[in-house]
Each structure stands twice: as structure tokens, then as C-alpha cells.
Amino acid sequence: MIAYAVRRLLIGIPVLIAASIFVFVVASFSGNPIDDMEARNPPVPLETRQLEAHRLGLDKPLVERYVNWLGNLVLHGDFGQSTEKTINIGDQLGDRLWVTLRLVFVAMLLAVLLAVISGVLSAVKQYSKIDYGFTFVGFLALSIPSFWLALLLKEAGVAYNQSTGSQVFYTLGDQDYNHDTFDTWGKITDIAGHMVLPTISLTLITYAAWSRYQRSAMLEVLNSDYVRLARSKGLRRRQVMIRHALRTALIPLATITAVDIGGIFGGAVITETVFNWSGMGTYLLESVTRRDVNSLLGWLLVSGLVVIVFNIIADLLYAVLDPRIRYE
């Protein structure tokens, strides 16, 4: 199984390279950051613009620029120069990835738990009030745009804080500006407090679709021959549900979770923007605004690697959920 995971990881490398080439070409032709210097009033001197173009490597052919970027990354772990001289792309990606991953991980965990619970209950109690209730909530969450849901939660948090006269919900930032002065427990509670509303927003828009998949998969398994055989053998209902039905029904959910990880990162971009988080989402928007090609490539590389790793984890879970699946 370890060899399989390593092979899958190696196969993902050409995919990342192909994606980076596409992004590099599109970003390079979408605009030149030196153009902003020329448009200033008064315009930046020509010599200064030439020095900046040389620093960013914009005075070299497109292919040579990409080869140099890839070589420096592989040999030295250098993501290249940013259009902002004070920004180190590697450090920025490391700090912001941690901010986004903690949001995405907690939101995915809660979404999976809610999807499993609601999906199983809906399938077991098919066409009951419980089923109709979970179905209504799921379709309601699916119909609400993610940015609108985040804005509603933010406004609700602000209104509640104003009505109570205390800071119960944090609506701006991923941590307090005095975060570094807190003790360990203070830092944990500070981060947890700022995560409440963004996590709820990202969880709801993710859970809705997954719960429908889980319900459908559970219904299909409950109507299968081997589950009916297990019941006819006199096994306890709980044993049939957990050991025979639920384990098999979790396989489609593991698949859709791995496939949706890219979409979850997209939802994180919107959520982080609404709540003014300093994560990967806002870093992407800032890089696009600055026309910072190297920052865009670094963002793509890190995000793509996260997606590939999550897909490998999902593949490995198949063997845990269904012992018949084995990787040679």
C-alpha cells in the first residue's frame, strides 16, 4: 500500500507541471506588472522599470523564465521573486497554508460527520418526517450561494455582539492582532473563536451535497442481497447497519470528498475574503491583483499538492472500508 501511495504521488508530479505551465502562460499574457509603473503619474523612470523587469526576470524569453523558475524550485526550494520586494513567497505560502488548512480540515470533518448522520438516518427512515426534514435542510443549503451565506453569518454575528454588548462572535480576521502576546491556551481559544463563523459557512455549503450522496449510497446498500442475507442470519440490527451496510456506503462519500477538495478550496477563497482571513484564498486574490506570476505558481503548486494528497488518502481508505480492495 505504501508503494501504491508513492506511485500515485509521483504520477501527480507531471499533472502539477502541466498545470503550472498553463497558469504561467495565461498569467504572463494577462498583463505585465511593469505596466502599472508606467501608468503612474508621474511615470516611474525608465531605468527603474528596467531594473524591476530584470529583478523579476521579465526581460527574458517566456520559456527561459519558466525553466529558471522550475529549476530554482527543484534545486533550491526557491519560489522566485514577488512583485512586492518585501514578500518571501515560500514563507507566505507556509503561513497562509496553515490558516486555510485548519479551516478546511475542521469544515470537512464536520461536514462528513453531518453528512453521514443525516444520510444514514434519512435512508433508514425513508419517507419519514426525519427524511423530509434532512432533505429540506440539504436543499436549502444547496440553494444558498456561498458568499451570501458567509455574509449572513457575519451580519448575524455582528448583530448579536451589538445586542449583547460583548464580543461573542469574531467577524474579522483569523486571529487577534495581539495574538502573539497570549499564552498557549489564549492562542488556542483565540484561533478557535475566529474559526466559528467561517467554519459554519464552509461546512453548510459542503455538507448539503454530501448528505444526498450518503443517503443514496445507504439506500442502495440496504436493498442489496448481502444485507438481506445478514438480516436473515439473525444478526443484530446495529451490527448489520455498522459492519455491513455503513462501511460499504461510505466508499462513495470518500470518493466525492476527495473530488470536492478543490471546490472546498474555492469555497475557502470566498469565505476568507468575507471574513478577512489571511489565508490561501486572499493570497490568491492578492497575487492576481499584483499580476504576480511567481506567487500564482506557488499557490497552484501547494494547492495542487494538497488535492493530490487528499485523493491518495481517499484511495487508501477504500481498502480500510472494503477489505476486498487491495493494492498490489
How far is the C-alpha of 280 from the C-alpha of 270, rounded, in Å?
11
Give the closest residue to 20 by CA, choosing from 56, 52, 65.
Answer: 65
Give helix then strand counts, H and E, for the chain. 14, 0
Match 484511495 to its residue by C-alpha cell: 315
Predicted confidence at residue 195, as pLDDT, reads 92
Distances (CA, A) of 89 to 10, 37, 71, 80, 281: 24, 21, 16, 7, 15
Return the H-helix or E-strand segment holding 90: helix 89-124
Q: What is the pLDDT along the chain (328 residues), one digit of tens a residue?
A: 677 677 777 877 888 888 888 888 887 777 777 777 777 777 778 788 888 888 888 888 888 888 888 888 888 888 888 888 888 888 898 889 999 989 989 999 999 999 999 998 998 888 889 989 988 988 888 888 888 889 999 999 999 889 988 888 888 888 887 888 888 888 888 898 899 999 999 998 888 889 888 898 888 888 888 778 877 877 787 777 777 788 888 888 888 888 788 778 878 888 888 998 988 888 888 888 888 888 888 888 888 888 888 878 877 777 777 766 665 5
pTM greater than the 0.85 cutoff: no
Amino acid at 148: W
Phi/psi of residue 325, each to 5°? -85, 125
Please calculate the CA angle 209-211-216 and round it to the nearest 5 degrees: 100
* Residue-range domain boundaries for the chain: 90-321
Our CA angle for 82, 74, 306, nearest 5°, is 80
pLDDT (0 to 100) of residue 138: 84
Nearest to 84 by CA among 308, 326, 327, 295: 295
Burial group, residue 54, by CB count within 10 angstroms (0-12, 13-18, 19+): exposed
Q: Cell digits for 148? A: 451570501
- Cα torsion 86, 88, 91, 95: sign: positive
- Homologous superfamily, domain 90-321: MetI-like (1.10.3720.10)
**pLDDT per position as a tens digit, 90-129:** 889 888 999 998 998 999 999 999 999 999 899 888 888 9
